[in-house]
Amino acid sequence: MIIYGKGMIMTTNQHPFPVMENPGIACFLAIIAGMMNGFTYDQAGVFGTVQSGNVIMIGHSLATGNWAHLKIAALTVLAFGLGSMTTVFIQYLDSVRKKLNWTFAILLLEAAILCLLATGILTPYLSLIGICIIISFIAGMQGNGFHKMKGMLYGNIAVTMVAQLAFNHLMRFLCGTKGAFKTALLFFAVLISFALGGFCGTLLTHHFHEHSLFVPAALLVLLAIYLYFSPRKKGIAIDPT
């Protein structure tokens, strides 16, 4: 099947899904998100990309009257939401101009913000919580932009759903469903990648503090370069559906 637009991008039988839905890239994005969480948890005791805990903290803070925690949790969730909205706006601009895949804009914007944080320029003006809030904004962009793997919904910034689906398909395999084991392995691979990212992010943060954020930024740039010089040049669809 050939899809016209955006430079004659196509999907074929050999490439039935856009490149950004490749399981390898899903795991790569999970590593990046895990590294960001490794930094935020080590430095501030919070998970920068996972919002479930922050929503619970809002309820807990309201119940206990802890207004300082309420402010932090609410701002973190708001930043995540603004990041998600930013992705939609970039996708909208791309649909109007049709000049460049929006995937590149998301990846490079994430990398630019991480590099800005990693330089330490903002450190005198931002608390660690402030930095974590900005990372939540980045997570909102990444999570809303890239949440499909071979056509299946998944998460690379928060993996509760991934854990559920991994064990769901494992049980389906044990009950005799064909192909379920391979699907389970895909989701388990994302889980392991997320944990690996947390491991690496924590070790890097111990040694380099905020400068450790250069590493996930570099990985995002490398991914963008790969997409530009490999699949895009071959006319293969990049943006996820």
SS3 153: strand
pLDDT of 111 = 98
Where residue 67 sits, what CATH number does that domain have? 1.20.1250
- Cβ burial 126-142 (10 Å sphere, 16+ → b, else e): eebbbbbbbbbbbbbbb
Alpha helices for the chain (secondary structure H): 23-44, 52-64, 67-97, 102-119, 128-145, 160-174, 180-208, 214-229
Q: List the chain pLDDT tens, one digit each, 241 residues.
A: 333 334 334 444 566 789 999 999 999 999 999 999 999 988 887 888 888 888 998 999 999 999 988 998 899 999 999 999 999 999 999 888 776 789 999 999 999 999 999 999 998 888 888 999 999 999 999 999 999 999 999 999 999 999 999 999 999 999 999 999 999 999 999 999 999 999 999 999 999 999 999 999 999 999 999 998 877 667 788 899 8
Count of positions (residues) in the chain: 241
* Number of domain units in the chain: 1
| DSSP letters spanning 67-131 | HHHHHHHHHHHHHHHHHHHHHHHHHHHHHHH-SS-HHHHHHHHHHHHHHHHHHTTTTTTS-HHHH
Domain span at 40: 19-229
State which H helix or E strand residue 149 sits in: strand 148-149
pLDDT of 9 = 42
Structure tokens at 118: 């990693």
237 inside domain: no
**Contact predicate 69/60, CB 8 Å:** yes
99 inside domain: yes
49 inside domain: yes
235 inside domain: no
**Contact predicate 111/225, CB 8 Å:** no
124 inside domain: yes
Q: Which residue has 């948890």 as its token pair?
A: 41
Distance CA 14, CA 27 (A): 21
115 inside domain: yes
